[in-house]
A = this chain, B = another copy of it.
Amino acid sequence: MARISIINNIFKDDLGNINFLGKIGISILIFLSVYFITKIVNKVIDKTILNRKSLSTIESTNRIITMTQTIKRIVKYVLLFFALVISLDMFGVNTASLIATLGIGGFALTFGAQSLVKDMITGFFILIENQYSVGDYVQIGSKEGIVEELGIRITKIRDFTGELHIIPNGSITEVTNKTRGGMRALVKVGVSYEDDLDHVLSVLNKVADELKNDEKVIEGPTVLGVTQLGSYSVEISIVAKTIPMEQWAVERNLRKRIKEEFEKEGIEIPYQKIVVLGGEKS
């Protein structure tokens, strides 16, 4: 108890309040704590974020390093600001008004800037969850194309037509990635009601068999069967699983082969047919 009293004498004035010297001491202590807390927080952030498997590519690694540095910097400034406020407070400055002033301003900014914060949080998760990476063919909302850039705030997509779509990450909800796993090629062909269905199916099966060995095809084309009894044609569907981005080529190939084979076998791809009934105007 005596020791504590001595400490008290040095840092406290006659009325038992902490004196100027004591206040300076405490301030130094606070800033030191902030220094060490920052160190610890940085370590924790590094461990949590950087040891992830999604860091396969160098590019995304670089981006995540940038991001963690941003986070660290924010943490550092917040802690420093906090230490400053407490120290000022001890020396009798009315920090309540400081905080209130900042609060009002911050509130005003927040309302306008919330989409900015949302952009960055969503961008962060797209990266961490590896939803898509540069070079993938994706569809986001009504836009689709190849990802050219995956930034903290925006994603750039190059359309098939060459147009460059710039999309803020925060307005991305549903993402459709078309380069993860095999794609489906689907061709629908209509034959006449007068044609023999079994003959048609055997011809289509033959075409399908031919394409089974195509290197673009993962799972050989399958003739599904009658998918619609239309108003003037019987619709038959053929489906195949292909390597990504080659589904359209496979479909074009299938269509050309079917047309050629049908011509050879005399199977009609029918024009629209109408029965016209004679009548006399009364």
Binding site for B on A (CB under 8 A): 1, 4, 8, 13, 15-16, 18-21, 78, 81-82, 85-86, 89-90, 92-118, 120-122, 125, 129, 131, 139, 141, 143, 151, 153-154, 158-168, 171, 173-178, 180-184, 186-187, 189-190, 193-194, 197, 224-229, 231-232, 234, 241, 244, 247-249, 252-253, 255-256, 258-260, 269-282
Contacts and interface: CB of A to CB of B under 8 A. Distances in A.
30 contacts: A4-B20, A15-B16, A18-B92, A85-B97, A85-B101, A86-B98, A95-B97, A99-B100, A104-B107, A113-B117, A113-B121, A115-B122, A129-B166, A143-B176, A161-B184, A163-B178, A164-B181, A165-B175, A167-B173, A167-B174, A171-B173, A197-B260, A225-B253, A226-B252, A226-B256, A271-B273, A273-B275, A275-B277, A276-B276, A276-B279
Given A164-B177, A275-B276, 5 more contacts: A106-B108, A108-B117, A162-B183, A166-B177, A272-B275
A132 to B, nearest CB: 8
A158 B244 CA distance: 14
Contact of A232 (B20, B178, B272): B272
A106 to B, nearest CB: 5
A81 B101 contact: yes
B101 A82 contact: yes
Contacts of A101: 78, 81-82, 85, 99
B281 A281 contact: no
B121 A118 contact: no
A231 B268 CA distance: 12
Given A20-B4, A183-B162, A82 B107 contact: no
B168 A173 contact: yes
Contact of A271 (B8, B143, B275): B275
B269 A273 contact: no
A180 B56 CA distance: 29
Nearest to A193: B269
Contacts of A180: 164
A2 to B, nearest CB: 12
Contact of A164 (B92, B176, B247): B176
A125 B153 contact: yes
A91 to B, nearest CB: 9
Nearest to A109: B117
Given A129-B153, A275-B270, A94 B99 contact: no
A154 B95 CA distance: 38
B102 A231 contact: no
A162 B181 contact: yes
Contacts of A99: 97, 100-101, 104
